[in-house]
Amino acid sequence: MATQEFSSFKREQKDLINLMPLQTGGILTDAAREALVEFGDGFSTCDFCLGNLCNITNPPIKKFAHELLPRFLGCDVATITHGAREAKFMVMHCLTNPGDTIIVDGNRHYTTVVAAERAELNIIEVPSSGYPEFKVNVADYIPLIEKHHPKLILLTYPDGNYGNLPDAKRLGGVAAKYNVPYILNGAYAVGRMPTSMMEIGADFIIGSAHKSMASAGPCGVLGMKKKWENILLRKSAVYKKKEVELLGCTVRGVPLITFMASFPYVKERVNHWDEQVAKAQWFSQELENLGLKQLGGKPHRHDLLHFDAPAFYEISQHVPERGYFLYKELKKRGIWGPQPGLAKSFKVSTFAASKEQLGFVIDSFKDILQKHHSKAV
């Protein structure tokens, strides 16, 4: 193995117009990029630790975790996790026993299923309306709650496949009526759009810092009602300062410090969510004008967009690169977005790109279609 291979990592995608849904909300701010280098060394956040990560005052983790995050999430108590999935597992692990049943939406992320498997739970899914809108009607939780008496319910808000925002607040009313703890998985919401746990009426709110809060990650947040604090954040019998479910301390170093450094910017950017939605709707309409079909709810209310692209699929059947042609054509033009290899249907996010950049993306799609069409005839 050449040493070179492991001594000089390069990633050209970082200089392209980024439309990849996983990445658009996780791009670092300049402040975070500086903090990344400053705190790059292992355990660097722990210089002044007195035994509990969330009580460190230099850097101001205590203020961040105990004041800023709860206010931002509209919850009573917040803690830092390794990601959204770890937060989900933590709640499931604390509130259920193996063999218990939970109810989740049919658009749930795969990590919801894997977390539930790890906690040895039965999962009941509330089906979506299916093609093409894939909408989840939260009223459909009611008969399933009455039938299965779940220990927990979970809603994905929005889901990571279609960017649909179901009626989370209405489900809050249902959860209160049936007295069942309610997890709101906001991996694609918290840090992008205003999201308040109390307003929605959830018991838990979960965010992903590397997905939607401009952090290097892996890092997440878990917000909860005060009444869950003693269970979720219970301390070790042996080590009085260490939370059992967090295995003592969660993220140390770069994941957390970049999250904190970006936070003032993230807190501000959610106020511009209306502009993000308008941009996404405009982009979606322009691609539909080119013959693509947007899946999920319409008019769309999130920057995550999923398109069926029969014309691109048709092209992929006649070019040597097959499904990879779209990725290659876009890359040539400085655009990074649809998963390489996919052309028939793909997801993009308009969150990080300016309207001018998106205009260029639309023209590029038009170009690619015309170029291959004229070749075919």
* Residues lying near ligand PLP in the complex (CB under 6 A): 83-85, 109, 111, 156, 159-160, 185, 187-188, 208, 211, 220
- Least Å distance between CB 116 and ligand PLP? 13
Judged by CB, which is closer to ligand PLP: 82, or 225? 82
Pairing of strands 152-156, 182-185: parallel
Judged by CB, which is closer to ligand PLP: 259, or 283? 259
- Least Å distance between CB 210 and ligand PLP? 6
- Least Å distance between CB 161 and ligand PLP? 9
Judged by CB, which is closer to ligand PLP: 157, or 336? 157
Judged by CB, which is closer to ligand PLP: 159, or 303? 159
Judged by CB, which is closer to ligand PLP: 279, or 347? 347
Q: Is there a contact between 303 and 276 (Cβ–Cβ < 8 Å)?
A: yes
- Least Å distance between CB 22 and ligand PLP? 7
Judged by CB, which is closer to ligand PLP: 82, or 372? 82
- Least Å distance between CB 205 and ligand PLP? 13
Give dist(CA 221, CA 207) in Å, integer: 5
- Least Å distance between CB 300 and ligand PLP? 16
Pairing of strands 304-308, 345-349: antiparallel
Judged by CB, which is closer to ligand PLP: 114, or 176? 114
- Least Å distance between CB 306 and ligand PLP? 13
Token duo for residue 166? 């179901």
Judged by CB, which is closer to ligand PLP: 160, or 323? 160
Phi, psi torsion values for 235, nearest 5 degrees? -95, 155
- Least Å distance between CB 165 and ligand PLP? 12
Contacts of 272 (CB under 8 A, 6+ apart): none
- Least Å distance between CB 221 and ligand PLP? 9
Phi, psi torsion values for 243, nearest 5 degrees? -80, 130
**Burial letters for 341-372: b for 16+ Cβ neighbours within 10 Å, e otherwise?**
ebbebbbbbbbbbeeebbeebbebbeebbeeb
- Say which residue the tokens 């808000």 belong to: 157
Judged by CB, which is closer to ligand PLP: 281, or 349? 349
